[in-house]
Each structure stands twice: as structure tokens, then as C-alpha cells.
Amino acid sequence: MGRPGGDLTRSLIIAPQWIGDAVMTEPLMRRLAARGERLTVGALPWVAPVYQAMPQVAEVIEFPFAHGGLQFKARRILAQQFAKQVEPFDTAYVLPNSLKSALLPFLANISKRVGYLGEARIGLLTHRLKNPKNKPPMVAFYSALSGASDVASDRPQLQLDATQTATDITPFGLNPQAYVVMAPGAEFGPAKRWPTAHFGEVARRLSAECGLRSVLLGSGKEATLCDEIQAVCPDALNLAGKTQLRQALSIIAASKNVVSNDSGLMHVAAAFGVPQVAVFGSSSPLHTPPLSDKAQVLWLKNDTTYQPALDCAPCFDRECALGHMRCLNDVRPDQVLAAISTV
């Protein structure tokens, strides 16, 4: 695929706004680049570093948009800039399902605009895929936008320059493979968060029994969770709210192990191929698993020895409607420590 004369097709990717979703678009990027498309990704600042860890992406543009609202004026101004480029975009792939995400390629008059039907976008897209009744895993959902059908086995892969990684972790006093990352947050809500007391006990025992320090990662909103872990294990390094995403990616890539909930950072660890343990509660690893051979998933719903059985799981609720949170509370630190030893 390309322009007459062999020039690459110039493609604009409108990225999703969540870290985990961004990671799961990497196989799509790989497919598009392999067939001769030059990829420019437009992403919100908090997910842009994920695309900078994809070698097949030629350029990353940080969009000046915020959460919520149409922000029509800002989109129109940027669209006018795109339309005036010496080499305009040939194709746009709109990954989110929202109306506002499809506005920019339409206003920029990009001739081919690909995306899923959603939020009254029929006139904004030229190539529309129907949203499947039974939504497939997210990697396959995004990869299908390439037009390919053999997408079920795709796995995300992220790469960082070793020199850049060393530059990012050194200010925090970290050495590669000498620490374990713990990510206790989950944006969706408490029903996806393993108790901080359990995280703290794992961190304490890794320190006492293995000489491994734990590094706590999260946003500023998750600082309280990390404080609670540090209260149990005082020698844990609490970096919640103290890193940029690019630094957090480097810290994960250079770690010995990662312990997390079902979250965006879980998918980051999987894409870097870091040995990891992922604790699931209200959500399902059948839909959003860490796609790595080095991942261990703990989900009591699948544990036939656990009684009484968790008939309520997966509920996909933000908070436990039954008030007991058994799906997470009953995953014991010993189970996580045992899983760490096998990955």
C-alpha cells in the first residue's frame, strides 16, 4: 500500500485514552507498518509515552485536549493544521468509539477514515466496522481495523532503548533486576483492587526473605494506597505520583517482577515480557488477560478448591454490591508469593 511512485501511505492513528487500551493497540500498529504505512499517533499526554515505546510508530503528537467535552474549536484548529501539511494524511484510524474522536480526521478532510460504528459517526467515517455483539478481546478488536481476519493470536510488544531506561531509573537509586514493582491501583474502582495490607505483606516478605525491595507505582490519586503498603513495609520505595509515565515504563521494563491488579500497568508489564503476577477480582482474565507467557493470573473464580464458589464473579462492578469483596480479600499473600517464585 502506498502512493504512486512507492511513497509510504501516511496514516493518522487516533489513540484511546487509557494506558491499557493503548498497549493493546500495538499489534495494529505493527500490522499497519508492516504493509507500508507511515504511522503518526495522536494521543493524549498521559498515554503518549506508550506509543513512544512502539518502534513502528514514526511520530507521536500530543493532543491538547482534556477529559470530557467536545472541544470543537481546538479540534478544528488542529484539523486545519493537518490539512495544510505538505504531505497530508491519506488514512485515519479512529480507535475510540466516541463521536469527538472521529471529528478531527473529518475536519482535516482525510479521505479514508476507518473506525467502528458508534455515537452517530456514520457521516464522519468512510469505512465503518460493525461493533461485534460479543465483543472480542481488546487486541483483536483493535487489530481488526487493519482489515485482517487472522488477529486472534496477536500479542502486544513494547520496547525501550536500554540507555534511556538506565537514565530513567538511576535518579531513583534503582538497578535493573534488583527490585519488584507493585501497582496497587485500578482506575475502574475498588472492586479491582487487591487489599493494600496484602500487598504490604508480600513486600515485607520479599524484603525479609529474598532481599528484594518493592517499588510502588501509581498516580497521585493512588498515593494513599501506596502509603498504606509502605506502612506495612517501610523499606518499600513509594513513587506514587512522583514519576512521569515514561519513567514508570522504564521502571517496569527493568524490574525483576511485577505484582498488580487488572490495570493498565499490568498490560505494560506483559508487553515488556516482565515476569508478573496479576490479581483479578470483579473483572475477568478471559477478556483482558496479561498477554505474556511470563504472567501468572490469580482469580478465585477459577479455583475449584475455593469454597463457597464465587457465583457472583465476574460482576464487572466498580464496588462490591454484596459488601464482602471475597474475590480479592481471600487471595492470600502466600498465593502471590508462590506465584512469583514460578514466573
- Both 237 and 287 in one domain: the answer is yes
- Both 209 and 113 in one domain: the answer is no
pLDDT of residue 188: 74
β 112-116/213-216 pair status: unpaired
Structural domains of the chain, count: 2
pLDDT-derived band of residue 1, with 50, 70 and 90 as boundaries? Answer: very low
For residues 45-61, average pLDDT? 97
- Both 184 and 260 in one domain: the answer is yes
Using one digit for the tens of pLDDT, what is the confidence trace for 93-150? 999 999 999 999 999 999 999 999 977 888 999 999 998 888 788 999 999 999 988 8
- Both 229 and 332 in one domain: the answer is yes
- Both 125 and 209 in one domain: the answer is no
Q: Which three cell numbers stand for residue 2?
A: 502506498
Using one digit for the tens of pLDDT, what is the confidence trace for 257-270? 999 999 999 999 99
- Both 107 and 220 in one domain: the answer is no
Using one digit for the tens of pLDDT, what is the confidence trace for 5-20? 446 899 999 999 999 9
Looking up residue 108, the CATH number of its domain turns out to be 3.40.50.2000
- Both 204 and 125 in one domain: the answer is no
Q: Which residue has the cell 502471590?
A: 336
Residue 2 located in a structural domain: no
pTM above 0.95, yes or no: no
Residue 306 located in a structural domain: yes
pLDDT-derived band of residue 3, with 50, 70 and 90 as boundaries? Answer: low
CA 225, CA 221: separation in Å to the nearest integer?
9
- Both 86 and 178 in one domain: the answer is no
- Both 142 and 167 in one domain: the answer is no
- Both 140 and 186 in one domain: the answer is no
Residue 157 located in a structural domain: no
Residue 154 located in a structural domain: no
Structural domain containing residue 331: 162-340
